[in-house]
């Protein structure tokens, strides 16, 4: 048995970036889902929901692999708690994307023509927040290379700094969209309104989790 061989554990940062990418692929399908819903193309929604579900499962597999490779006896450049929290938050983004797909799948909810543009704008803002996080999180390997310091850390912190404001914008758009929905409450049946709320909830969860993930990334950098 070689001491040197035993000394090196598997670095969690490569797999973390892999997880980031899987999660991002889930989020990328959110816009096509909404478009399919607007077109009332239920077969397409069915197909896309399958795809999201599959990607979410793959992200879960990566997550479990990372956790499995982090026994207590290893020490890492970042605290284990922060890393696990980061992974947990990032995984919630994929969960929320899947929730959105499921909401569209279980009931053929039509989007009211007056609401379509606002739905699109809100969704785009949510996806933008998530993309920002993805771009920052993809730098994890480079961050590990520089021991979470210096110019590389600065540039990642800069990327994350936009997340809070992006999430706040998404929140505001969600409130306005909600108000708009209730303005049309006479024309909409109650179950449709319930499902609109469910869609909004899932979408805002994506932005929320992305912001939380960014916070954990910041913690990992700043703590060092």
Partner 1 sequence: MLWLLMGGIVALCLYMAWTIGANDVANSMGAPVGSGAITVRQAILIAAICEFAGAVLVGSDVTDTIRKGIVSPDALCRNPEVFCLGMASALFASAVWLHVATWLGMPVSTTHSIVGAVAGFGVVAAGIHSVNWGKMLEIVSSWFISPVAGLALGYVLFRFILRTVLTRAQPLAAAARIAPLMVFLTTLVVALATIYDGMKNLLKPGSVFAEWATGGRAILAAALVSLVAAVVSRRLLRYRARGEVGLPLPEQLRRVERLFVPLAVMAACSVSFAHGANDVANAVGPLAAIADILKTGTVKMRVAVPFWILALGGLGIVLGLATYGYTVMRTIGKGITEITPSRAVATGIATAATVLSCTRLGLPVSTSHCVVGAVLGVGLARGLGAVNQRVIRNIIGSWLATVPAAAGTTMLLFVLGHSLGVDLFLKQLMPAAP
Taking CB under 8 A as the criterion, the residue among 28, 32, 53, 76 binding partner 1 is 76
Nearest to 137 by CA among 11, 13, 222: 13
Taking CB under 8 A as the criterion, the residue among 23, 34, 144, 221 binding partner 1 is 144
Query: Is-contact 152 146, C-beta < 8 A?
Result: yes
Q: Binding to partner 1 (CB under 8 A): which residues in 185-224?
A: 224
> Rounded to the nearest whole angstrom, what is the least distance from the CB of residue 138 to partner 1 in the complex?
9
**Residue 40, Ramachandran bin (φ over 0: left; ψ between -120 and 50: alpha; else beta):** left
Taking CB under 8 A as the criterion, the residue among 53, 85, 142, 219 binding partner 1 is 142
Query: Is-contact 103 202, C-beta < 8 A?
Result: yes
CA 194 from chain centre, in angstroms, equals 23
CA 53 from chain centre, in angstroms, equals 14
- 77 interacts with partner 1 by CB under 8 A: yes
- 73 interacts with partner 1 by CB under 8 A: yes
Distance from first CA to last CA of the chain, Å, rounded?
A: 34
- 32 interacts with partner 1 by CB under 8 A: no
Kindly state the DSSP code that residue 78 receives in the 8-state scheme: S
> Rounded to the nearest whole angstrom, what is the least distance from the CB of residue 154 to partner 1 in the complex?
9
Q: Convert residues 102-141 into a mask of x (bound to partner 1 by CB under 8 A) and - (unbound).
A: -------------------------------------x-x
Note the residues at the interface with partner 1 (CB under 8 A). 1-14, 69-70, 73-78, 139, 141-142, 144-153, 155, 224
């Amino acid at each position: 048995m070689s001491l040197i061989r035993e000394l090196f554990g598997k670095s969690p940062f490569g797999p973390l970036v892999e997880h980031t990418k899987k999660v991002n692929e889930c989020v990328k399908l959110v816009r096509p889902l909404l478009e399919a819903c607007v077109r009332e193309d239920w077969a397409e929604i069915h197909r896309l929901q399958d795809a999201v579900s599959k990607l979410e499962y793959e992200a879960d597999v990566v997550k479990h692999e990372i956790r499995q490779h982090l026994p207590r006896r290893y020490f890492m450049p970042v605290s284990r708690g922060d890393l696990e929290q980061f992974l947990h938050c990032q995984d919630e983004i994929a969960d929320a994307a899947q929730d959105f797909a499921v909401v569209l799948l279980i009931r053929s909810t039509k989007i009211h023509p007056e609401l379509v543009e606002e739905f699109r704008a809100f969704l785009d803002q949510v996806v933008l927040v998530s993309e920002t996080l993805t771009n920052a999180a993809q730098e994890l390997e480079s961050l590990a290379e520089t021991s979470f310091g210096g110019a590389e850390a600065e540039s990642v912190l800069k990327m994350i700094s936009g997340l809070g404001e992006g999430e706040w914008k998404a929140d505001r758009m969600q409130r306005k969209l909600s108000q708009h929905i209730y303005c049309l409450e006479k024309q909409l049946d109650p179950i449709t309104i319930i499902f609109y709320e469910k869609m909004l909830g899932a979408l805002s969860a994506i932005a929320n989790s992305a912001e939380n993930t960014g916070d954990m990334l910041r913690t990992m950098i700043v703590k060092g």
